[in-house]
Protein backbone atom coordinates (compact mmCIF):
# COMPACT_ATOMS: atom_id res chain seq x y z
CA UNK A 1 0.00 0.00 0.00
CA UNK A 2 1.27 3.45 -0.92
CA UNK A 3 0.47 6.75 -2.64
CA UNK A 4 -0.12 5.05 -5.97
CA UNK A 5 -2.53 2.48 -4.53
CA UNK A 6 -6.23 2.93 -5.32
CA UNK A 7 -9.09 4.10 -3.11
CA UNK A 8 -11.53 1.26 -2.54
CA UNK A 9 -15.30 1.86 -2.43
CA UNK A 10 -18.00 -0.72 -1.79
CA UNK A 11 -21.78 -0.69 -1.78
CA UNK A 12 -24.62 -3.20 -1.90
CA UNK A 13 -25.18 -2.33 -5.57
CA UNK A 14 -24.64 0.73 -7.73
CA UNK A 15 -25.60 3.43 -5.23
CA UNK A 16 -21.99 3.94 -4.19
CA UNK A 17 -21.31 5.30 -7.67
CA UNK A 18 -22.65 8.60 -6.30
CA UNK A 19 -19.58 8.61 -4.04
CA UNK A 20 -17.29 7.54 -6.89
CA UNK A 21 -18.55 10.39 -9.07
CA UNK A 22 -17.71 12.92 -6.36
CA UNK A 23 -14.33 11.32 -5.64
CA UNK A 24 -13.46 11.65 -9.33
CA UNK A 25 -14.50 15.32 -9.25
CA UNK A 26 -12.51 16.20 -6.12
CA UNK A 27 -9.60 13.75 -6.57
CA UNK A 28 -9.25 13.23 -10.35
CA UNK A 29 -5.69 11.94 -10.01
CA UNK A 30 -6.63 9.00 -7.76
CA UNK A 31 -7.04 5.38 -8.86
CA UNK A 32 -10.39 3.92 -7.72
CA UNK A 33 -11.64 0.35 -7.31
CA UNK A 34 -15.39 -0.03 -6.85
CA UNK A 35 -17.15 -3.18 -5.69
CA UNK A 36 -20.92 -3.49 -5.94
CA UNK A 37 -22.47 -6.52 -4.28
CA UNK A 38 -25.28 -6.71 -6.81
CA UNK A 39 -26.00 -10.37 -6.07
CA UNK A 40 -27.18 -9.53 -2.54
CA UNK A 41 -28.73 -6.09 -3.00
CA UNK A 42 -30.54 -4.62 -1.09
CA UNK A 43 -28.77 -4.70 2.27
CA UNK A 44 -31.43 -2.57 3.94
CA UNK A 45 -33.81 -5.49 4.48
CA UNK A 46 -31.13 -7.87 5.82
CA UNK A 47 -30.28 -8.72 9.43
CA UNK A 48 -27.55 -6.89 11.33
CA UNK A 49 -25.43 -10.05 11.38
CA UNK A 50 -25.67 -10.48 7.60
CA UNK A 51 -24.84 -6.82 6.97
CA UNK A 52 -21.70 -7.06 9.10
CA UNK A 53 -20.63 -10.30 7.39
CA UNK A 54 -21.22 -8.89 3.91
CA UNK A 55 -19.27 -5.74 4.80
CA UNK A 56 -16.26 -7.75 5.99
CA UNK A 57 -16.34 -9.85 2.81
CA UNK A 58 -16.54 -6.73 0.63
CA UNK A 59 -13.59 -5.14 2.41
CA UNK A 60 -11.48 -8.27 1.88
CA UNK A 61 -12.29 -8.16 -1.85
CA UNK A 62 -11.00 -4.59 -2.02
CA UNK A 63 -7.89 -5.42 0.02
CA UNK A 64 -6.96 -7.98 -2.64
CA UNK A 65 -6.67 -4.97 -4.96
CA UNK A 66 -4.13 -3.36 -2.59
CA UNK A 67 -6.32 -0.35 -1.73
CA UNK A 68 -4.93 2.33 0.57
CA UNK A 69 -8.33 3.29 2.00
CA UNK A 70 -11.85 1.86 2.08
CA UNK A 71 -14.94 4.02 1.66
CA UNK A 72 -18.09 2.30 2.88
CA UNK A 73 -20.39 3.77 0.25
CA UNK A 74 -23.44 2.16 1.82
CA UNK A 75 -25.46 3.76 4.61
CA UNK A 76 -26.69 0.40 5.91
CA UNK A 77 -23.15 -0.97 6.21
CA UNK A 78 -21.98 2.33 7.73
CA UNK A 79 -24.77 2.06 10.31
CA UNK A 80 -24.00 -1.46 11.47
CA UNK A 81 -20.49 -2.47 10.42
CA UNK A 82 -18.23 0.60 10.46
CA UNK A 83 -16.97 0.16 14.02
CA UNK A 84 -16.22 -3.55 13.46
CA UNK A 85 -14.47 -2.86 10.17
CA UNK A 86 -12.22 -0.22 11.76
CA UNK A 87 -11.35 -2.60 14.60
CA UNK A 88 -10.58 -5.50 12.27
CA UNK A 89 -8.78 -3.90 9.34
CA UNK A 90 -5.70 -1.71 9.69
CA UNK A 91 -6.21 1.03 7.10
CA UNK A 92 -8.33 4.20 6.93
CA UNK A 93 -12.05 3.39 6.61
CA UNK A 94 -14.60 6.16 5.96
CA UNK A 95 -18.38 5.82 6.32
CA UNK A 96 -21.16 7.96 4.91
CA UNK A 97 -23.32 8.65 7.98
CA UNK A 98 -21.37 11.29 9.87
CA UNK A 99 -20.53 13.54 6.87
CA UNK A 100 -24.20 13.67 5.85
CA UNK A 101 -25.37 14.33 9.41
CA UNK A 102 -22.89 17.16 9.80
CA UNK A 103 -24.05 18.79 6.59
CA UNK A 104 -27.73 18.51 7.57
CA UNK A 105 -27.05 20.18 10.91
CA UNK A 106 -25.27 23.02 9.10
CA UNK A 107 -27.94 23.78 6.50
CA UNK A 108 -31.27 23.36 8.34
CA UNK A 109 -32.98 26.66 9.12
CA UNK A 110 -36.01 25.56 11.15
CA UNK A 111 -34.19 22.73 13.00
CA UNK A 112 -36.45 20.10 11.41
CA UNK A 113 -34.56 17.45 9.44
CA UNK A 114 -36.01 14.48 7.57
CA UNK A 115 -34.05 11.30 6.88
CA UNK A 116 -35.03 8.76 4.24
CA UNK A 117 -33.18 5.47 4.26
CA UNK A 118 -33.48 1.70 4.13
CA UNK A 119 -35.39 -0.01 6.97
CA UNK A 120 -32.11 -1.22 8.52
CA UNK A 121 -30.59 2.27 8.57
CA UNK A 122 -33.75 3.81 10.01
CA UNK A 123 -33.97 1.12 12.69
CA UNK A 124 -30.33 1.72 13.66
CA UNK A 125 -31.13 5.39 14.47
CA UNK A 126 -27.60 6.17 13.29
CA UNK A 127 -28.57 9.44 11.59
CA UNK A 128 -30.66 10.67 14.50
CA UNK A 129 -27.77 10.07 16.89
CA UNK A 130 -25.20 11.62 14.56
CA UNK A 131 -27.28 14.76 13.93
CA UNK A 132 -27.92 15.09 17.66
CA UNK A 133 -24.16 15.11 18.30
CA UNK A 134 -23.92 18.27 16.18
CA UNK A 135 -27.09 19.98 17.46
CA UNK A 136 -29.39 18.48 20.09
CA UNK A 137 -32.13 20.98 19.30
CA UNK A 138 -32.76 19.50 15.86
CA UNK A 139 -35.92 17.42 15.47
CA UNK A 140 -35.20 14.39 13.28
CA UNK A 141 -38.00 12.53 11.48
CA UNK A 142 -37.04 9.30 9.71
CA UNK A 143 -38.84 7.37 6.99
CA UNK A 144 -37.94 3.95 5.62
CA UNK A 145 -38.21 3.71 1.82
CA UNK A 146 -37.51 0.04 0.99
CA UNK A 147 -38.73 0.20 -2.62
CA UNK A 148 -36.33 2.96 -3.67
CA UNK A 149 -33.26 0.71 -3.99
CA UNK A 150 -34.86 -1.88 -6.30
CA UNK A 151 -36.36 0.92 -8.39
CA UNK A 152 -32.91 2.48 -8.84
CA UNK A 153 -31.25 -0.88 -9.52
CA UNK A 154 -33.91 -1.49 -12.19
CA UNK A 155 -33.08 1.87 -13.76
CA UNK A 156 -36.59 3.24 -13.17
CA UNK A 157 -35.38 6.70 -12.22
CA UNK A 158 -38.17 8.73 -13.88
CA UNK A 159 -41.06 6.28 -14.18
CA UNK A 160 -44.54 7.32 -12.98
CA UNK A 161 -44.50 4.42 -10.50
CA UNK A 162 -41.35 5.87 -8.91
CA UNK A 163 -43.02 9.24 -8.41
CA UNK A 164 -46.11 7.56 -6.96
CA UNK A 165 -44.00 5.57 -4.49
CA UNK A 166 -42.06 8.70 -3.51
CA UNK A 167 -45.26 10.65 -2.83
CA UNK A 168 -46.52 7.91 -0.54
CA UNK A 169 -43.23 7.56 1.38
CA UNK A 170 -42.62 11.28 1.77
CA UNK A 171 -46.16 12.26 2.83
CA UNK A 172 -45.40 11.98 6.60
CA UNK A 173 -42.21 14.03 6.26
CA UNK A 174 -44.00 16.79 4.37
CA UNK A 175 -46.52 17.02 7.22
CA UNK A 176 -43.73 17.55 9.77
CA UNK A 177 -42.49 20.62 7.90
CA UNK A 178 -38.87 19.54 7.45
CA UNK A 179 -36.73 22.02 5.53
CA UNK A 180 -33.85 19.58 5.02
CA UNK A 181 -33.96 16.00 3.74
CA UNK A 182 -31.01 13.66 4.17
CA UNK A 183 -30.71 11.07 1.42
CA UNK A 184 -29.68 8.29 3.78
CA UNK A 185 -28.85 5.74 1.12
CA UNK A 186 -26.31 6.24 -1.67
CA UNK A 187 -28.85 4.96 -4.21
CA UNK A 188 -31.22 7.84 -3.47
CA UNK A 189 -29.30 10.70 -5.18
CA UNK A 190 -30.21 9.06 -8.47
CA UNK A 191 -33.80 9.96 -7.59
CA UNK A 192 -33.05 13.61 -6.80
CA UNK A 193 -35.32 15.07 -9.48
CA UNK A 194 -38.29 13.01 -8.25
CA UNK A 195 -37.58 13.78 -4.60
CA UNK A 196 -37.26 17.49 -5.34
CA UNK A 197 -40.58 17.52 -7.19
CA UNK A 198 -42.35 15.80 -4.31
CA UNK A 199 -40.76 17.75 -1.43
CA UNK A 200 -40.72 21.16 -3.12
CA UNK A 201 -37.97 23.55 -4.13
CA UNK A 202 -37.52 25.02 -0.62
CA UNK A 203 -36.44 21.73 0.94
CA UNK A 204 -32.67 21.18 0.83
CA UNK A 205 -31.59 17.69 -0.22
CA UNK A 206 -28.42 16.53 1.53
CA UNK A 207 -26.33 14.09 -0.48
CA UNK A 208 -23.42 12.96 1.69
CA UNK A 209 -21.21 12.10 -1.31
CA UNK A 210 -19.71 15.60 -1.47
CA UNK A 211 -18.86 15.57 2.23
CA UNK A 212 -17.49 12.01 2.07
CA UNK A 213 -15.13 12.90 -0.79
CA UNK A 214 -13.88 15.93 1.16
CA UNK A 215 -13.24 13.69 4.18
CA UNK A 216 -11.32 11.20 2.03
CA UNK A 217 -9.19 14.01 0.63
CA UNK A 218 -8.43 15.33 4.12
CA UNK A 219 -7.40 11.93 5.47
CA UNK A 220 -5.21 11.10 2.48
CA UNK A 221 -3.48 14.48 2.78
CA UNK A 222 -2.91 14.03 6.53
CA UNK A 223 -1.43 10.57 6.01
CA UNK A 224 0.64 11.66 2.99
CA UNK A 225 -1.20 9.18 0.78
CA UNK A 226 -2.38 11.50 -1.99
CA UNK A 227 -1.32 10.24 -5.40
CA UNK A 228 1.21 12.61 -6.92
CA UNK A 229 2.78 10.52 -9.69
CA UNK A 230 1.87 11.11 -13.30
CA UNK A 231 -0.16 8.94 -15.63
CA UNK A 232 -3.84 8.50 -16.16
CA UNK A 233 -5.99 7.55 -13.17
CA UNK A 234 -7.45 4.04 -13.43
CA UNK A 235 -10.98 3.04 -12.40
CA UNK A 236 -12.08 -0.57 -11.99
CA UNK A 237 -15.68 -1.67 -11.41
CA UNK A 238 -16.22 -5.07 -9.81
CA UNK A 239 -19.62 -6.61 -9.16
CA UNK A 240 -21.02 -9.90 -7.89
CA UNK A 241 -23.87 -10.25 -10.45
CA UNK A 242 -25.77 -8.67 -13.38
CA UNK A 243 -22.97 -6.78 -15.18
CA UNK A 244 -25.14 -5.63 -18.10
CA UNK A 245 -27.77 -4.01 -15.87
CA UNK A 246 -25.07 -2.38 -13.76
CA UNK A 247 -23.30 -0.98 -16.83
CA UNK A 248 -26.54 0.44 -18.23
CA UNK A 249 -27.50 2.38 -15.10
CA UNK A 250 -23.91 3.36 -14.31
CA UNK A 251 -23.54 4.87 -17.78
CA UNK A 252 -26.63 7.02 -17.26
CA UNK A 253 -25.34 8.29 -13.94
CA UNK A 254 -21.59 8.67 -14.53
CA UNK A 255 -22.03 10.00 -18.05
CA UNK A 256 -19.69 7.55 -19.77
CA UNK A 257 -19.45 3.86 -20.55
CA UNK A 258 -17.83 1.51 -18.08
CA UNK A 259 -16.98 -2.17 -18.12
CA UNK A 260 -18.08 -4.07 -15.06
CA UNK A 261 -16.15 -7.21 -14.10
CA UNK A 262 -18.09 -9.98 -12.38
CA UNK A 263 -16.07 -11.75 -9.69
Q: Phi-psi region for residue 207, left (φ > 0), alpha (ψ -120 to 50) or beta?
A: beta
Beta bridge partners of 11: 36
Candidates 69, 185, 205, 238; catalytic one:
185
Contact 34, 250 (CB under 8 A): no
Rg for the chain, CA atoms, rounded: 17
Which residues touch 9 (CB under 8 Å, ≥6 apart)? 16, 19, 20, 23, 32, 33, 34, 35, 62, 70, 71, 73
185 a catalytic residue = yes
Residue environment code for 112-145, b if the CB has 16+ CB neighbours within 10 A, otherwise e: bbbbbbbebbbbbebbbebbeeeeeebebbbbbb
Torsion from C-alpha of 195, 197, 200, 206, nearest 10 degrees: 30
Distance, C-alpha 13 to centroid of its chain: 10
d(CA 193, CA 146) in angstroms, rounded, equals 18
Instruction: Provide the terminal-to-terminal Cα distance of the chain, rounded to the nearest Å.
Output: 22
Candidates 20, 74, 120, 238; catalytic one:
74
74 a catalytic residue = yes
Question: By three-state DSSP, how is residue 191 classified?
Answer: helix
Contact 3, 35 (CB under 8 A): no
Calculate ∠ Cα 195-199-204, nearest 5°.
85
Give the residue numbers marked as catalytic.
Answer: 74, 185
Amino acid sequence: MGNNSPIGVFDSGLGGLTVVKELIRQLPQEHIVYYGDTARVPYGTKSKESIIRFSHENTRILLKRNVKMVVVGCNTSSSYALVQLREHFHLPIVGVIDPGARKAAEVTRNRKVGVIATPATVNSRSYARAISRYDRSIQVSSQACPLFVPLVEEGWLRKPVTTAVAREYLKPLRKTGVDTLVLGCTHYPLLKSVLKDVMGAKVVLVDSATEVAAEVKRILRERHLLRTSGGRARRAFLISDRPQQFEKTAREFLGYNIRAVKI
